[in-house]
Amino acid sequence: MTVRDILMLGNETLRKKSKEIDFERDNVEGHIADLRDTLRFFQKKEGIGRAIAAPQVGCLKRIVYLESEGRTIVMINPRIVSQSPETFDVWDSCFSADVAFFCRTRRHRSIHVQYWNQDREQINETFTDDLSELFQHEIDHLDGVLFTDHTIDHHIIMRSEWEKLTAV
């Protein structure tokens, strides 16, 4: 099990663009294993989190790993091909902020993503609502863009306040 340190906001690596994966030269399985192990560790520690992008562990490669509700998605070299004009507002946080605070952000209601999976198959998939928001967040990481860049109305709250707002 290889759990990597998660880079925190302010680390300049998080602002850099990631390079595309070369299936012949890059250790794709190693990168995926690191992301999986780090995500699972963070989920266990914090009780929150569904996905992680390679730059968050200091790897400037275009890989996103999701594990949530029994579903695993590995996106290699993803790109958003299209997005809906409809948007929605959502509270967002990030492992790179230690999930200490949440920002109100605006995201596209749906996105169509083209990516390769770990079996080198090209996938075209449309995501809506929460998965649309999540993959926009993760793909942003690959381009050096952070969730705080999408904050609307300077609306930022601490995690304890977010938990009160979202309690059922």
DSSP state of 61: B
What is the token pair recorded at 124? 């075209």
Separation between Cα atoms, residue 61 and residue 166, nearest integer Å: 34
| 3-state secondary structure (DSSP) of residue 141 | helix
Q: 166, 109, 114: which is closest to 139 by C-alpha?
A: 114
Binding residues for Fe cation, as ranges, are 94, 137, 141
Separation between Cα atoms, residue 125 and residue 119, nearest integer Å: 16
Separation between Cα atoms, residue 96 and residue 55, nearest integer Å: 10
Instruction: Write down the catalytic residue from 121, 138, 161, 163.
Output: 138
29 catalytic? Reply is no
3-state secondary structure 99-128: CCEEEEEEEECEEEEEEECCCCCEEEEEEE
Residue with tokens 């080198």: 120
Distances (CA, A) of 150 to 13, 52, 121, 129, 131: 19, 18, 32, 16, 17
The residues that are catalytic are 138
